[in-house]
Structure 1
């Protein structure tokens, strides 16, 4: 992996050059490994390093090796692997894409976890049997800074410049105990339902270990080809700032009838300052304003009450630190007749089940979840979808259609999550 300094320079150059990815022809097909190249595919070797001009390739940082087993056909006979996580990027324009990963080893086994952009969970610990090569598909959302055909751009924060999103590339992270990738196919998907996520650090795709949020976990809950999760949340955001930075306008430029808009704020809106909104007046009114705007466009709005912070009273019971903001969401839902996923109530049940001590395994600090905590909160969101958003719940993967009771959380070791190379002990903005 490149150093943060070099990564920053490359990312800035991508934004500055404003690569014309609109002219890229999809589908794109890449055959990984030193053997014969499948017809219609582009060969990718371990030394194929990403450049803006080339438009695809690996990021430095992992020692890559290519193997050719000869048998099995051009695509399946060879692969690229590493004993460290590795990243592959492709220049692409805004939109949803189906990605088919061919993986395995004709003379061995393989096991890999795939994440996209800033640690967005796409494929969970997929393995191939000995001497087998398999394929798995996921659907991913890709976005850039530009807004439609205008000169406007989303006003990102300085920390976001380092992210693997808001650039002109789709970046895939291959991780796990034995990743062996034979090939990748990328096809545009204009039919998938897009679930746009708006919110703060409790929703965002956190880009560094050990931080996490439910928004980056939930993509793996949905059936590929049917649903694409588009996470536009950012740490420290409020309703007012989100709109002022043109993040909402960016969503409107891409949204189509039948898509969904999930709205979860509150943690930062309650703070004094220029972005403060009063819960039962301006905050509730702004929520309803967004709801009405979504409906005008044929987009289904869903309100999500703020997840609780990790805070307990002397008796060991979780306490509400968000004042009237969760209740304001409930009232907005009733007034506007819009579904409300009450993550606030579900999260408090979850924390009570963990207790003051064990809840530390679900959090990195008082406000921000660990990977395990984010996973459990994503299960709460899925439970809310099953109860209140039937049009979307039918597209959940079978394993996530089971009832989840936050009062009975999963064991702490339930999720396999190999660590990404990027880590930081610096707290994300917001609280």
Structure 2
């Protein structure tokens, strides 16, 4: 939250692409980087990475340079701004491994207009591997552009933008100079973006997100309704306050595609909630969730339905992630067919340059005493232990596995038969009793377990988690 006399904004500049210049090779050999790779500079004195940063007005900014140094020695550099060294001996300390990334910050003064920020090696071993530069600026409160005409109402505030399918950068100025507020934000078919933000009178906070727009906006086959074309943004909470909202095409975000069933999908109709529609609320700008989960789908039907994998596959580009979760509806699928279906998806994702990730299915709430039974743990009707098949396949094909079955089993059993009920749908609260599908609370918990797995596997998306 930011005081009314200033707001903060952060712009990211990837080291491997313009407006940055890499004095070496753009590489992708060490996992955990953002964007399309990182800059591996030449091992020489003077080898450098230079960023061009545009400023609307002169002022102080905080630079955050993300790097990895897997050597045993520090790698010093001169930090220059517009040709003048502002920090000699800027040290990139050893991080322990080339896949261990960290960020150093430094405050500098920049001019209005274009600025050059340069890191130049001062020893013969060159620089550390540089991933990106974040530039955090502080601006004038007059910047919020005001509520656009596309927005109507006061509680909730509903906005509709007539845009084509694709990925968009959405910037929201939340708060009001005259009165206090409490504002949450969602988009499209009940996708969570921002939990309620409390703002004091005179306080405006700026929030930036990357949003995927598709049609239908909920489930790809239109179950529960197709919604409206374009982008829908809603602001709710006890006292929603909006001082500005802009929408612009996003430039090459890290796309994360979700392939799954009703426990994953964007559920248009409450109280049903998939963990995939909560996941966007855990991401910062620059990464986007494209949820192709669909109710009732198994591994075979997802492959064959033209609205699902055949539609999603051509959209995948280099380094995009594809999280694949099936099992709930593979009730009679044999082990060989299940492995074949998943292998087909993995191979086709890889053929597009994407990174496949297997996610074992979350448990059902079916207890024998205080322990979940085999049906809850996805041993199907023909005796196939589906999560075990996914773990084995991941190992054999070198595919990361997020074991959501094991994580959710631990959570549900720790809560017990009674305490775990609130994760799922309850007749007294939700109007329906269901031990497979999640309440909003349950979906939020499952999304948290997926986030935990993303961090544990050190997937590229980990850099964008918040």
Shorter-chain TM-score tier? 0.5 to 0.7
- 1:172 maps to what in 2? 233
What is the alpha-carbon root mean square deviation over aligned residues?
2.5
Answer with 92-101 or 77-86: which moved more: 77-86
Q: Which residue of 2 aligns with 1:121?
A: 192
Q: Which residue of 2 aligns with 1:386?
A: 455
Q: Who is 2:297 aligned against?
A: 237
CA change 1:249–1:129 in 2 (3 A) is same
Aligned: 1:132 with 2:203:
yes
Partner of 1:313: 368
Using structure 2 for the length normalisation, give the TM-score: 0.62
Q: Residues of 1 paired with 2:338 and 2:450: CA distance?
A: 22
Once the two structures are superposed, residues 80-129 of structure 1 have per-residue CA deviations (whole angstroms, 9 ceiling, x without a partner) of 78564343221222221110012322211122111111111111112322
Larger RCO: 1 or 2 (CA < 8 Å, sep 6+): 1
Equivalent-residue separation in structure 2 for 1:207 and 1:356 (angstroms) = 28
Task: Show the 5 A alignment for 1:156-305.
Answer: 157=221, 159-160=223-224, 162-164=225-227, 167-224=228-285, 226-246=286-306, 247-271=308-332, 277-278=333-334, 280-305=335-360
Deviation at 1:183, TM superposition (A): 2.4
Q: 2:438 aligns with which of 361, 369, 372?
A: 369
> In the alignment, what sits opposite 1:9?
none
In the comparison of the two structures, how many residue pairs are matched? Answer: 309
Structure 1 229/158 Cα, relative in aligned 2: closer, same or farther at 3 Å? closer
Q: 149, 170, 173: which one pairs with 1:99?
A: 170
Greater strand percent: which structure?
2
| Contact 2:195 2:281 (8 Å CA) reproduced | yes
1:181 deviates by: 1.8
Give the Cα–Cα distance (whole angstroms) in 1 for the partners of residues 415 and 458 of structure 2: 28
CA distance in 1, matches of 2:411, 2:372: 9
More helix, by proportion? 1
Q: Which runs of 5+ in 1 are unaligned?
A: 1-70, 147-153, 272-276, 398-431
Query: TM-score of the superposition, structure 1-length normalised?
Result: 0.67
Deviations 1:211-256 (A, max 9, x none): 21211111111121x2101111011112222222221122122221
After superposition, the Cα gap between the structure-2 partners of 1:212 and 1:156, relative to the gap in structure 1 and judged at 3 Å, is closer
Worse overlay, 236-245 or 353-362: 236-245
Report the secondary structure of 2:416's partner residue: helix
1:143 and 2:214 equivalent?
Answer: yes
Q: Distance in 1 between matches of 2:240 and 2:152?
A: 6
In 2, distance between residues paired with 1:370 and 1:221? 18
1 CA distance for matches of 2:193 and 2:446? 17
Shift in Å, 1:388: 1.3
Q: 2:145 aligns with which of 68, 72, 75?
A: 75
